[in-house]
């Protein structure tokens, strides 16, 4: 079992930036394809960005060109750099593996984009 701990969220104005981190408890993390997901109030959790064990990336259309996912296997951490943030990016952000492992969900980190 791998524990995932998200951090880095906060309140930011529209157009601002944040960098989220997802720290894994075990080195086996390095073999996983990983992703960031988000859930806004009243909506289902949705895929945001993914990164393979070989560092290939993909993004949802809503964040493409604004967000960048990366990973540091030595630090057992996945990052999400979020630029040009919009109010519709407001959500709780989670990381998990691909495919999702239900037992790996952490507490998430709240991102609020508001003026």
Per-residue model confidence (pLDDT) at position 28: 80
Per-residue model confidence (pLDDT) at position 1: 78
Residue 78 burial (CB count, 10 A): 28
pLDDT in tens, the chain (115 residues): 789 999 999 999 999 999 999 999 987 888 899 999 999 999 999 999 999 999 999 999 999 999 999 999 999 999 999 999 999 999 999 999 999 888 899 999 999 999 9
> Residue 66, by phi and psi: left (phi above 0), alpha (psi -120 to 50) or beta?
alpha
Per-residue model confidence (pLDDT) at position 87: 97
For the chain, what percent of residues have pLDDT higher than 70?
Answer: 100
Per-residue model confidence (pLDDT) at position 20: 98
Residue 71 burial (CB count, 10 A): 22
Per-residue model confidence (pLDDT) at position 30: 86
* 79-110 burial code (b ≥16 CB/10 A, e <16): bbebeebeeebbbbbbbbbeeeeeebebebbe
């Amino acid at each position: 079992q791998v524990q995932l701990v998200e951090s880095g969220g906060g309140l930011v104005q529209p157009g601002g930036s944040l960098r989220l981190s997802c720290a894994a408890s075990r080195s086996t993390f390095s073999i996983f394809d990983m992703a960031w997901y988000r859930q806004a109030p009243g909506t289902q959790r949705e895929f945001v960005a993914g990164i393979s064990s070989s560092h290939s990336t993909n993004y949802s259309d809503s964040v493409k060109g604004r967000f960048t996912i990366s990973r540091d296997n030595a630090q057992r951490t996945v990052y999400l750099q979020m630029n040009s943030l919009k109010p519709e990016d407001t959500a709780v952000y989670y990381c998990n593996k691909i495919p999702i492992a239900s037992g790996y969900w952490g507490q998430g980190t709240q991102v609020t984009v508001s003026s």
